[in-house]
A and B are shown apart, each in its own frame.
Chain A
Amino acid sequence: QVTLKESGPALVKPTQTLTLTCTFSGFSLSTDGMRVSWTRQPPGKALEWLARIDWDDDKFYSTSLKTRLTISKDTSKNQVVLTMTNMDPVDTATYYCARITPLGYFDYWGQGTLVTVSS
């Protein structure tokens, strides 16, 4: 059974760095073809893809946010970590991690974690 769960602070201050952890089970990120991604969704708005990390440690980022994002994995812990620097109130959103299949679709999602940016 594949599960993913996001964890991290619910509230961050402007200019701070956000660190989110995705802890997953039911698959290994060292298996050929496995990928994990982060996506966010501001309240009432659309989904926005942020970053992806592959089984071979390739990393890809949203063009508009790449200077602020870092994605990494700890295969032994079954975790993927996303950091986002210089947080702003417009970054308030629910942040999701999800598994991506070789055909590029998200087959399993975490429940999401709401991050509010406010002083």
Chain B
Amino acid sequence: EIVLTQSPGTLSLSPGEGATLSCRASQSVSSDYLTWYQQKPGQAPRLLIYATSNRATGIPDRFSGSGSGTDFTLSISRLEPEDFAVYFCQRYGSSSITFGQGTRLEIK
């Protein structure tokens, strides 16, 4: 079973700074099936990026995704106060689905 490892576990930054979040897979993953979500306390996850680099409807262009094979990245430029949350990557397989353990983005 493919394991997704996210790093860092916690990222402390200030509004206005840029953030880079990593998701590493234990085996090569199709870029069509790598997704990122944002989750705020008490809320369900929210779709951010699908198929590695496609922003979901309504997601600002300061969010971008990239990567291939086993290494994928979520980048957030010019952090806004509402961006401080937990971010999860997810991989879809024909018979199983895997989530990373999450990266907490906190205000420094």
Contacts and interface: CB of A to CB of B under 8 A. Distances in A.
Interface of A: 37, 39, 46-49, 52, 60, 62-63, 96, 98, 100-101, 103-107, 109-112
A104 B92 contact: yes
Interface in B25-83: 32-33, 35, 37, 44-47, 50-51, 56
Q: In which size bucket is the chain B interface?
A: 20 to 34
A49 B98 contact: yes
Contacts, number: 60
A22 to B, nearest CB: 13
Nearest to A52: B97
A46 B47 contact: no
A62 B90 CA distance: 14
Contacts of A107: 47, 56
A47 B47 CA distance: 14
Given A104-B35, A105-B35, A46 B97 contact: no
A104 B33 contact: yes
22 contacts: A37-B97, A39-B99, A46-B102, A47-B99, A48-B99, A49-B97, A52-B97, A62-B96, A96-B44, A103-B33, A103-B50, A103-B92, A104-B93, A104-B97, A105-B50, A105-B90, A105-B92, A106-B35, A106-B47, A107-B47, A109-B44, A110-B44
